[in-house]
């Protein structure tokens, strides 16, 4: 098992010839996890900013993750977003982010919208600049995507 720098990514698990799965604990675009939590947006497993976290510094069209292909489409890498502990093991560690978040911390200079559906559609909740919020009853454990509104 290998750990990627600045991330909770675990080395691929071979599922079939040419198919690999990776578990990603952040989308921080080069920021350290600490800076990403402070200056980015962080989904939390529990209400009131408790439990495991998924920090990100860019829009997330689908909290389930994404796939890439290479070698002419023969090989596939699946990337699944999971919650990580910030200070030791906690509730939600290693669980999928999609449809498992209860609160959000927005440390950016933009508002962030959390959507019910993937690809920024359906009901949403807007969280203000430098604001923490519990997801409303419609979106709690029903979060599928996030978009920064600047």
Q: Where are the domains of the chain?
A: 10-149
Task: State the average pLDDT for the chain.
Answer: 88
Residue from 114, 128, 147, 130 nearest 38 by CA? 130
pLDDT tens readout for residues 55-74: 999 999 999 999 998 888 78
In eight-state DSSP terms, residue 61 is S
Provide the whole-model pTM.
0.84
* Banded pLDDT at 34 (limits 50, 70, 90): confident
pLDDT tens readout for residues 82-96: 999 987 778 999 999
pLDDT tens readout for residues 110-146: 999 999 999 999 999 999 999 999 999 999 999 999 9
Q: What is the pLDDT of residue 4?
A: 42
pLDDT tens readout for residues 96-107: 999 999 999 999
Helix (H, G, I), strand (E, B) or coil at 72: coil
Q: What is the pLDDT of residue 139?
A: 97
Residue from 130, 123, 126, 128 nearest 144 by CA? 123
Residue from 6, 149, 143 nearest 63 by CA? 143
Q: Number of helices (H) and strands (E), helices first, in the chain?
A: 1, 11
Q: Are 50 and 91 in contact (CB under 8 A)?
A: yes
CA distance 140 to 29: 26
CA distance 98 to 141: 8
Residue 87 exposed, middle or buried by CB count within 10 Å (0-12, 13-18, 19+): exposed
Which ranges of 25-72 does DSSP label H, i.e. alpha helix?
33-39
* Domain 10-149 sits in CATH 2.60.20.10: yes
């Amino acid at each position: 098992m290998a750990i990627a720098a600045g991330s909770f990514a675990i080395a691929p698990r071979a599922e079939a010839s040419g198919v690999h799965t990776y578990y990603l604990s952040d989308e921080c675009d080069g920021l350290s996890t600490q800076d990403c939590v402070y200056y980015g947006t962080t989904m939390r497993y529990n209400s009131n900013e408790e439990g495991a976290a998924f920090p990100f510094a860019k829009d997330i069209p689908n909290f389930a993750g994404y796939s890439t292909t290479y070698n002419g489409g023969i090989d596939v890498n699946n990337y699944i977003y999971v919650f990580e502990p910030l200070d030791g093991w906690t509730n939600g560690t290693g669980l999928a982010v999609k449809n498992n978040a209860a609160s959000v911390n927005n440390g950016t200079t933009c508002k962030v919208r959390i959507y019910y559906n993937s690809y920024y559609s359906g009901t949403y909740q807007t969280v203000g600049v430098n604001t923490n919020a519990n997801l409303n009853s419609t979106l709690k454990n029903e979060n599928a995507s996030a978009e920064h509104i600047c």
